[in-house]
Amino acid sequence: MAASKPVEPQSGTGLPRWQLALLVGTPIVLGVGAVYLWNRSRTKERQGKGTGERKTPEGSASPVQGQDGLPGDSLCFPLDRAQAAKNKGNKYFKAGKYENAIQCYTEAISLCPGEQKADLSTFYQNRAAAYEQQMKWTEVVQDCSQAVEMNPRYVKALFRRAKALEKLDNKKECLEDVTAVCILEAFQNQQSMLLADKVLKQLGKEKAKEKYKNREPMMPSPQFIKSYFSSFTDDIISQPLQKGEKKDEDKDKEGEAAEVTESSGYLKAKQYMEEENYDKIISECTKEIESGGRYTAEALLLRATFYLLIGNATAAQPDLDRVINMQDANVKLRANALIKRGSMYMQQQQPLLSTQDFNMAAEIDTRNPDVYHHRGQLKILLDQVDEAVGDFDECILLRPDSALAQAQKCFALYRQAYTGNNPAQVQTAMDGFEDVIRRFPKCAEGYALYAQALTDQQQFGKADEMYDKCIELEPDNATTYVHKGLLQLQWKQDLDLGLDLISKAIEIDNKCDFAYETMGTIEVQRGNLDKAIDMFNKAINLAKSEMEMAHLYSLCDAAYAQTEVARKYGLKPPTL
């Protein structure tokens, strides 16, 4: 599916990465680069594990032993009285009499000797639990902070404070507390994992909204632009200049001076496109539009496309709207505009509007293979695999030589069989990949998608061969080097080789946000948090959509939270 500001399939956007692999036909290796900083994917696997609410106060009603092991020791008599007050508070708490419970816990705190830090921390935590029931969030934070000060690894107090901080809209400190909890619990408690995920997403969305609104437009790499346009086969604006369109001076060189055409901003833009001089295209299209030239519809569509490519959907939409509403315009221009607007809506998480545009495109241009190809990808994103396969079949019927559609159909069938745990259908899909690369040996996407499936099946050696074929066919495709690097980590645990390949990707294309994101994720897992944050920030500056940027901010915030937890509590998760 043509992305509104095309998302490189390997970038994270909150959608499953195998689905994003279909956006322009390049696969994602599921593994070390496809996880949150603490392997958030494990959350769903733990349904029913460690979900107990931390609501009740702590402590039994039994008497406290003295320091010499005897009950009622005179040195601990104040502690005995404190414990009795706490026990009484617990009874009030269980009866729902929270104000009485608070009074008892307060008495326990005042009676407890200052050197009894473990007991004091429990009393403060219990009082915080009662305040929590009264929704007095500031008091909860204050008491939990007292508890944590005396017992820095007190999970109940840290988690209760995290929940109260969330209520107070202090997401940053909430994230730090819940990160500490996740590490202390070895990521075994779903409740804390879900809170961490929720806060990360909220922080990411807030930061991305502000950053994306004020970001400087950035033209992606030539390789990315060419890859984007290659996903269209029936697109007038991406076709080379025809003889009748060439500038007069070019025609003279070809002995075609008799074919005279007027000066046209659109034709100049097309010429710049062929020369890969992409920065001048929008301004030339604007000249054509403002002059009311004969190529106004084409110029509007081309300008909109480049607005999308630089991430300016706000500017792109009016141009797309105008083309779509031009009843006398070439139907293929209107269909292409609908595809691109539909893709833009999908990136903006408006699937109903997206579906409407794709369906309208199919109605007005029934024999346009691009419509079915890109709608098939939309259906994959919406988890409607059967309908997606139907669209890919229609695309193939209209254009039998569409290697990309055939490869993506195989990938869709494979994912359906793989997630449905159907070995026979998995093998059928794998056989389909073999057929695709046999019939279309120059289709890099076919090898790449096959490599993804082979990696899932742990056929790492053959997957590596497929990535080598991709590199042979497209040596300037940086993302393939990233995938191959991830494969080395998953297959051989060869960290050095993996990082070398990802560094090679950045050398080839210093605008490859996926390479920076992946490098950052690996550095987190190595414990190099400062370097990871630097990599994530570079990826953020290159993000091609607000949704993608939100995901990257989530990664960056998670890494920063870990640095704060390490500084405050000396806690670090396991590293590679």
Let me know: does 64 contact 70? Beta carbons within 8 Å.
no
229 and 363 inside one domain: yes
273 and 208 inside one domain: no
172 and 93 inside one domain: yes
388 and 271 inside one domain: yes
6 φψ region: left (φ > 0), alpha (ψ -120 to 50), beta (else): beta
Q: Which of 152, 180, 214 is the last residue of a domain?
A: 214
Residue 134 lies in a domain: yes
Q: Token pair of 329, please?
A: 């315009």
Residue 318 lies in a domain: yes
3-state SS class at 71: strand
Nearest to 37 by CA among 208, 158, 207, 183: 183
**Residue 71 backbone dihedrals phi, psi, to 5 degrees:** -70, 145
Please state, in angstroms and rounded to a whole number, the distance separating the CA atoms of residues 410 and 433: 6
Please state, in angstroms and rounded to a whole number, the distance separating the CA atoms of residues 293 and 276: 23
Q: What is the pLDDT of residue 25?
A: 28
Q: Token pair of 266, please?
A: 């659109």
Q: What is the pLDDT of residue 242?
A: 67
User: pLDDT band at 462, cuts 50/70/90?
Assistant: very high
pLDDT(572) > 90 = no
Let me know: does 390 contact 409? Beta carbons within 8 Å.
no
Residue 484 lies in a domain: no
| Structural domain range at position 170 | 78-214
Let me know: does 413 contact 428? Beta carbons within 8 Å.
yes
Q: What is the pLDDT of residue 245?
A: 55
132 and 191 inside one domain: yes
133 and 197 inside one domain: yes
Q: What is the pLDDT of residue 55?
A: 63
pLDDT(210) > 90 = yes
Q: What is the pLDDT of residue 53?
A: 54
| Count of the separate structural domains present in the chain | 2
Q: What is the pLDDT of residue 56?
A: 65
- Averaged over 48-67, what is the pLDDT? 50
User: pLDDT band at 10, cuts 50/70/90?
Assistant: very low
Residue of 256 and 472 predicted with greater confidence: 472
For all residues of the chain together, what is the average pLDDT?
A: 86
pLDDT(330) > 50 = yes
Q: What is the pLDDT of residue 255?
A: 36
CB atoms within 10 A of CB 402: 22
185 and 274 inside one domain: no
Q: Which of 351, 382, 400 is the last residue of a domain?
A: 400
Q: What is the pLDDT of residue 357?
A: 98
Q: How many residues does the chain have?
A: 576
Tell me, what amino acid is at 82?
A: A
273 and 392 inside one domain: yes
- Averaged over 476-493, what is the pLDDT? 95
User: pLDDT band at 263, cuts 50/70/90?
Assistant: confident
114 and 190 inside one domain: yes
Let me know: does 424 contact 414? Beta carbons within 8 Å.
no
Q: What is the pLDDT of residues 501-558, one digit of tens each?
A: 999 999 999 999 999 999 999 999 899 999 999 999 999 999 988 899 999 999 999 9
CB atoms within 10 A of CB 493: 11
Q: What is the pLDDT of residues 390-435, one digit of tens each?
A: 999 999 999 999 999 999 999 999 999 998 999 999 999 999 999 9
Q: What angle do CA 431, 448, 307 make, to 5 degrees?
A: 135
Residue 158 lies in a domain: yes
* DSSP category for residue 7: P
189 and 229 inside one domain: no
**Cα–chain-centroid distance for residue 536?**
12
Residue 301 lies in a domain: yes
Q: What is the pLDDT of residue 214?
A: 87
Residue 93 lies in a domain: yes
Please state, in angstroms and rounded to a whole number, the distance separating the CA atoms of residues 238 and 332: 12
Least confident of 24-28, 73-77, 381-385, 565-569: 24-28
Write the CA distances from 171 to 10, 164, 378, 573, integer angstroms.
28, 10, 34, 21
Residue 351 lies in a domain: yes
Least confident of 46-60, 69-83, 180-194: 46-60
CATH classification of the domain holding 175: 1.25.40.10
Q: What is the pLDDT of residues 219-250, one digit of tens each?
A: 999 999 999 999 999 999 988 876 555 544 44
Residue 123 lies in a domain: yes
Let me know: does 321 contact 331? Beta carbons within 8 Å.
no
* Three-state secondary structure of 161-176: HHHHHHHCCCHHHHHH
* DSSP category for residue 233: S
187 and 320 inside one domain: no
User: Tokens 């998760």, residue?
Assistant: 573
User: Tokens 């632009």, residue?
Assistant: 225
Q: Which of 346, 374, 400 is the last residue of a domain?
A: 400
Q: What's the pTM value of the predicted model, to 2 decimals?
A: 0.82
210 and 226 inside one domain: no
